[in-house]
Structure 1
Amino acid sequence: METNKKDKSEQLEQVGTIIKALSGFYYVRADDALRFPSEIQCRARGVFKKKGLTPLVGDRVRFSMTDNGEGTVTELFPRSSELVRPPVANIDLAILVFSVTEPSLNLQLLDKFLVHIEHADIPAVLCLSKKDLEQDGDESEEAKAMSAAVNEIYGAIGYEVYSTSAKHNNGIGELRERLRGHLAVFAGQSGVGKSSLLNTIVPGLQLETNAISNRLGRGKHTTRHVELIDIGGGLVADTPGFSQLDFVELGVDDLSSCFVEMRELSPNCKFRGCTHIHEPGCAVLEALEEGRLAPSRHEHYKLFLEEMKEKKRRY
């Protein structure tokens, strides 16, 4: 009798991935898709709350089935990565989506996103959306120059840059192939076309999209919660659009290491703990002077550093 109970409990214990979290429920896709073809609606055990643990979308979990066909998350497996905003775990590729126009590309915001992604130690890929505006003759000279600058500045320091148009289906196949085998996050400023891109990558998906507000020059938030989308051979977290980020979880001493070119140069600085602002023998300042470091990147580093110090002074 005891053996039968044990066998039954082992059959009920399953492993899977949290695909969506909503209103206190966790929707888990079981690894055993034959036995569990649909996502299982689960609650988390109270012990997680006592331990200060919160299951996240992307978490690998163990769960047990209950008599009513729902489940209970009983164990969280160790995470390979964890993002605070958006709250998602085990991401191994970040697609930062920025349009060159509507809304205008903001390199300072792009660098903020990159700092956070680098700090989380997740490989990042840049995706320039809405390239149809260029093809349709609606892109300004300023936008074209900005597009070229992104390729020049970020391509030179090792970031892959993809140019896409959801409207004309350009670059979609290459981006889909890049996502294969990954659990990726799509992030970027509101209104840049993340949902439109995903709708094109996954025909029939029909994520809600919103037009840009002409008055504000930015989009409305169309995504209300984090959810993993199966793109066929990979999973993508569609995340709420952001118009700003902060540095709550990032320390002042960590900042320079989140700029990849500065991270590579800093071992050659004369002084340990060099801030790369004013010190003699600074390899970063030398590279800046010689044109080997983009002025915009160093300028944004200084702005972020000051912002972090100001926040520290206030608290």
Structure 2
Amino acid sequence: MPEGIITKAISGFYYVQDGDVVRQCRARGVFKKQGLNPLVGDRVVYTAIGGQEGVVEELLPRKNELVRPPLANLDQCVLTFSVREPDFNPKLLDRMLVQVERESLSAVIVLTKVDLLQDKQDADRFLQPYREMGYQAAWVSTATGEGVEQVHDLLAGKLSGLAGNSGVGKSTLLNTLAPGLNLTIGEISQKLGRGKHTTRHSEIFRIFEGTFVIDTPGFATLEFAGMEPPILAQCFRDIWELSHDCKYRGCLHASEDGCAVRAGAEAGTMSSARYAHYLEFLGEVKEAKERRY
């Protein structure tokens, strides 16, 4: 039987893409009996019926599953920021990286609109601290075409969650990578149902062979509900690395004696700005925990 990927799910219909063909499918009743719910991103086995319809017969094993948005098999999250208009926001980037690390996903950082910089080396300065932590990162200008090939290579063959605030150029970037997509500005968010009279659903876009993207707005509006304070440090790669030298086990890296993280921030061996973001997020985590109890 043929296989495909669910790119959209609406009112009990699952839209399965197999190459260039998309079929509107129903799912076998056995899924409901087994407590299984097909998700956008699921790889499935299906039976074709007629030219454009079919039946989902089997869900292939998932590599992961997200609750917000409900999505399966995400390979990586592409955190998209502009260098100008709006200005690069490192605190929001750190906030989104916490969410990505919490979900045990790979993160790719992409800076757009670098043509607005007088010196493109500034883009590398923005990205270098994250590259040193092991994150893949690239900058791009859709106006000049610089960096487009590198972004293409970072996305190729993967299902990527595309995250970033409105105005950073996500749709423009996708149109540059896949001109036939013809997305208008804001179209991805409209398809996710944040407009006034739109249907609420997530949709995957196939941008080229074997390569898919989906908007993942949850990563841009991270709340710390349900997170325990010790987990936060594990979501900061630089803090987690330094934490092994802390004097006390269970150190939260705030005001404890013998804290290697605080000492590192004071000595400049880690970013003082990243440490300040960590302390701010730690306060939010503690506050959210207090509200739970």
The unaligned stretches of length 5 or more in structure 2 are 193-200
Within 5 Å, give how 1:12-51 maps onto structure 2. 13-30=1-18, 38-49=21-32
Q: Check whether the contact 1:166–1:197 (CA below 8 A) recurs between aligned residues.
A: yes
Give the counterpart letter for 2:130 in structure 1.
Y
1:221 Cα offset (Å): 3.9
Sort the Cα spacing of 1:234 and 1:67 in 2 relative to 1 into closer, same or farther, 3 A: closer
Choose which of 209, 234, 237 in structure 1 pairs with 2:185: 209
Aligned twin of 1:106: 89
2:181 alignment partner, SS class? coil
Sort the Cα spacing of 1:209 and 1:67 in 2 relative to 1 into closer, same or farther, 3 A: closer
Aligned twin of 2:143: 167
Encode CA deviations 1:153-193: one digit per residue, 9 max, x unaligned: 32332223211111221110111022222222221112211
Within 5 Å, give how 1:1-315 maps onto structure 2. 13-30=1-18, 38-49=21-32, 53-66=36-49, 70-134=53-117, 147=123, 149-210=125-186, 221-224=189-192, 225-239=201-215, 241=217, 244-248=221-225, 250-315=227-292
Q: Check whether the contact 2:191–2:203 (CA below 8 A) recurs between aligned residues.
A: no
2:286 alignment partner, SS class? helix
- Distance in structure 1 (CA, Å) of the matches to 2:212 and 2:227: 25
- Greater Cα offset, 268-277 or 69-78: 69-78
Sort the Cα spacing of 1:67 and 1:125 in 2 relative to 1 into closer, same or farther, 3 A: closer
Give the counterpart letter for 2:152 in structure 1.
R
Q: Check whether the contact 1:226–1:237 (CA below 8 A) recurs between aligned residues.
A: no
When the two structures are superposed, what TM-score results if normalisation uses the length of structure 2?
0.84
Q: Check whether the contact 1:191–1:220 (CA below 8 A) recurs between aligned residues.
A: no
Sort the Cα spacing of 1:289 and 1:55 in 2 relative to 1 into closer, same or farther, 3 A: same
- Distance in structure 2 (CA, Å) of the matches to 1:78 and 1:70: 23
1:294 Cα offset (Å): 0.6
1:116 Cα offset (Å): 1.0
Q: Check whether the contact 1:208–1:222 (CA below 8 A) recurs between aligned residues.
A: no
Sort the Cα spacing of 1:250 and 1:60 in 2 relative to 1 into closer, same or farther, 3 A: farther
- Distance in structure 2 (CA, Å) of the matches to 1:287 and 1:233: 45
1:194 Cα offset (Å): 0.7
1:198 Cα offset (Å): 0.6
When the two structures are superposed, what TM-score results if normalisation uses the length of structure 1?
0.79
The unaligned stretches of length 5 or more in structure 1 are 1-12, 211-218
Sort the Cα spacing of 1:311 and 1:289 in 2 relative to 1 into closer, same or farther, 3 A: same
- Distance in structure 2 (CA, Å) of the matches to 1:110 and 1:292: 20
1:308 Cα offset (Å): 1.8
- Distance in structure 1 (CA, Å) of the matches to 2:233 and 2:67: 20
Sort the Cα spacing of 1:312 and 1:43 in 2 relative to 1 into closer, same or farther, 3 A: farther
Encode CA deviations 1:73-104: one digit per residue, 9 max, x unaligned: 34323321223333322122221100122122
1:288 Cα offset (Å): 1.3
Q: Check whether the contact 2:115–2:144 (CA below 8 A) recurs between aligned residues.
A: yes
Sort the Cα spacing of 1:220 and 1:63 in 2 relative to 1 into closer, same or farther, 3 A: closer
Identity of aligned residues (%): 44
Which of structures 1 and 2 has the bigger CA Rg?
Answer: 1
- Distance in structure 1 (CA, Å) of the matches to 2:137 and 2:95: 17
Give the counterpart letter for 2:288 in structure 1.
K
Q: Check whether the contact 2:14–2:24 (CA below 8 A) recurs between aligned residues.
A: yes
1:94 alignment partner, SS class? strand
Q: Check whether the contact 2:83–2:116 (CA below 8 A) recurs between aligned residues.
A: no
RMSD: 2.8
Aligned twin of 1:213: none
